[in-house]
Amino acid sequence: MTASTQHAALIDFVRDIYGPDPLPLHRPVFEGNERRYLVDCIDSNFVSSVGARVTEFETQIAAFAGARHGVATVNGTAALHAALLLSGVARGEEVISQALTFIATANAISYIGARPVFIDVDRDTLGMSPEALRGWLEVNTRRENGRCVNAASGARIAACVPMHTFGLPCRIAEIAEICTEYGIPLIEDTAESLGSYVGARHTGTFGQIAAFSFNGNKIITTGGGGMIVTDDAELSARAKHLTTTAKRPHPYEFFHDEIGYNYRLPNLNAALGVAQMETLPEMLKIKAEVAARYREFCALHGFTFIDARAGTTANYWLNAILLEDRAARDALLEASNAAGVMTRPIWRLMTELPMYENCQNDGLDNARWLVDRVVNLPSSVPESEFGRLKP
Ligand SMILES: *Cc1c(COP(=O)(O)O)cnc(C)c1O
């Protein structure tokens, strides 16, 4: 099979699922109660920072993820920023994350004035590698008054932030064990993994806190939005306080007891989220069916489909395949995009960006290998399936 027949087969196959129009990688679907709930907000005048939809959405997400509490925020980056602050990360400290991620993970660490340390990922999950994490910690850190300290910089390792790439669960149970052993708070970046599980356990429930995103390109959207989830009642109360300007409740006085953030999700956005959550279970079924079609196509046409590892369930937010090498990757990107089928490479490594190029890292061999080979394919819910999302 030549590369060009392989490309043509893939383009035909994608058109077969999605139809003839130019195709984005992922677009939202509003086939549930979205319009009705938005109009309700406008009619009742509850569009902004007060309204029942926020609490409802928080309860829905927490229940879905199997966490005790949810605190909604304006976006996922804000949720990560607040999660790091709540975990006690402070200026000058260091936070371990992965170099293969969306920029928000590293930026949230930087907003605090903390420095990211970038650890390699596993080739199968595209998420943080527990072996790489342990290897780096063993060689580069020491214990000091019960704290884990970077031997080179003397800074405390204040948190670890793995990410579940494209909704594929990383080896989070193993990572959690290592973090416990070293006394490092674990924060999961679950921006891409709503509906992804390890066994029966939802991603985002392995550490202290997790941060979801409901940006327009995610599996469900609130326009813009995010959420912190945690089992810790005190952390959740602190999260609410910190993300709502740190105002002490009072009928008319303005007393703010620390520098808080205006990170609260407006009621309008939460209303969209409540309607989207009603369709999520059906959406997950449809996405698993689309993934199954890609899996079968790949097996027949010599592509490598990146699948959830055994014992885990992915939400198949974005489907991805592995090409032979960078040249093969680029040839496919060129052919498919020229044909109006949007495909994309994975992100640049954080260490390839000017603001993070000097950050400590472990060599990132697998991450570099993946950057040369991963391509995302169109993964939205196909229009032909919309009927299944109607209330
Ligand atoms: C989308 C995303 C975020 C948060 O993004 P927002 O656009 O701020 O909601 C964080 N981390 C990852 C990995 C993401 O994909």
Tell me the per-residue pLDDT of 320-355, one tens digit each, with 9 for 90 and over.
Answer: 999 999 999 999 999 999 999 999 999 999 999 999
Q: What is the residue type of 221?
A: T
Helices (H) and strands (E) in the chain, counts: 11, 16
**β pairing state of 209-213 and 319-322:** unpaired
What is the CATH number assigned to the segment(s) 34-275?
3.40.640.10
For 268, residues 6+ apart whose C-beta sits below 8 A from its C-beta are 38, 41, 47, 48, 223
Q: How far is CA 178 from CA 11, 21, 159, 175, 310, in A?
A: 43, 48, 12, 5, 21
267 CA from centroid of ligand 1 (Å): 20
31 CA from centroid of ligand 1 (Å): 24
Atom of ligand 1 nearest to the CA of 215: 9
Q: What is the mean pLDDT of residues 162-167?
A: 98
Atom of ligand 1 nearest to the CA of 108: 10
Instruction: Give me the torsion for CA of 157, 160, 161, 162, rounded to 10°.
Output: 140
By alpha-carbon position, which residue is closest to atom 6 of ligand 1?
76
Q: How confident is the model at residue 356 (pLDDT cuts 50, 70, 90)?
A: very high
Q: How confident is the model at residue 20 (pLDDT cuts 50, 70, 90)?
A: confident
d(CA 150, CA 354): 23
Q: How confident is the model at residue 367 (pLDDT cuts 50, 70, 90)?
A: very high
Q: What is the DSSP string of 217-282?
A: TSSS--SS-EEEEES-HHHHHHHHHHHBTTBPP-SS---B-S---B-PPPHHHHHHHHHHHHHHHH
Residue 189 Cβ contacting ligand 1 at under 6 Å: yes
Q: What is the pLDDT of residues 265-314, one digit of tens each?
A: 999 999 999 999 999 999 999 999 999 999 999 999 999 999 999 999 99
104 CA from centroid of ligand 1 (Å): 6
Q: What is the pLDDT of residues 74-106, one digit of tens each?
A: 999 999 999 999 999 999 999 999 999 999 999
The answer, yes or no, to whether residue 135 has pLDDT greater than 80, is: yes
Query: Domain ranges in the chain?
Result: 3-27+279-383, 34-275
| Cβ atoms of residues 117 and 95 within 8 Å | yes
For 80, residues 6+ apart whose C-beta sits below 8 A from its C-beta are 104, 105, 108, 161, 187, 189, 191, 211, 226
The answer, yes or no, to whether residue 22 has pLDDT greater than 90, is: no
By alpha-carbon position, which residue is closest to atom 2 of ligand 1?
191
d(CA 124, CA 122): 6
- How many residues make up the chain in this entry? 391
Q: What is the mean pLDDT of residues 162-185?
A: 98
- Superfamily in which the 3-27+279-383 domain is placed by CATH: Aspartate Aminotransferase, domain 1 (3.90.1150.10)
Residue 193 Cβ contacting ligand 1 at under 6 Å: no
Token pair 């029966």 in the structure block, residue: 200
> In the 8-state DSSP scheme, what is residue 167?
G
The answer, yes or no, to whether residue 1 has pLDDT greater than 80, is: no
pLDDT of residue 50: 83
pLDDT of residue 378: 97
The answer, yes or no, to whether residue 71 has pLDDT greater than 90, is: yes
Among 118, 189, 228, the mutation site with the greatest number of ligand 1 atoms within 8 A of its Cβ is 189
Q: How confident is the model at residue 21 (pLDDT cuts 50, 70, 90)?
A: confident
The answer, yes or no, to whether residue 180 has pLDDT greater than 80, is: yes
Give percent of the chain with pLDDT exceeding 70.
100
Give percent of the chain with pLDDT exceeding 90.
95
301 CA from centroid of ligand 1 (Å): 33
Residue 188 Cβ contacting ligand 1 at under 6 Å: no
Long-range contacts of 143-149 (CB under 8 A, 24+ apart): 146/183, 147/183, 148/182, 148/183, 148/184
* Tokens standing for residue 257: 């007891």
For 126, residues 6+ apart whose C-beta sits below 8 A from its C-beta are 100, 165, 166, 168, 170, 306, 320, 346, 370, 374
For 241, residues 6+ apart whose C-beta sits below 8 A from its C-beta are 247, 260
Tell me how crowded residue 91 is: count the other CB atoms within 10 A of its CB: 8
User: In whole numbers, what is the pLDDT of the chain averaged over residues?
Assistant: 97
pLDDT of residue 391: 86
| Cβ atoms of residues 111 and 117 within 8 Å | no
pLDDT of residue 126: 98
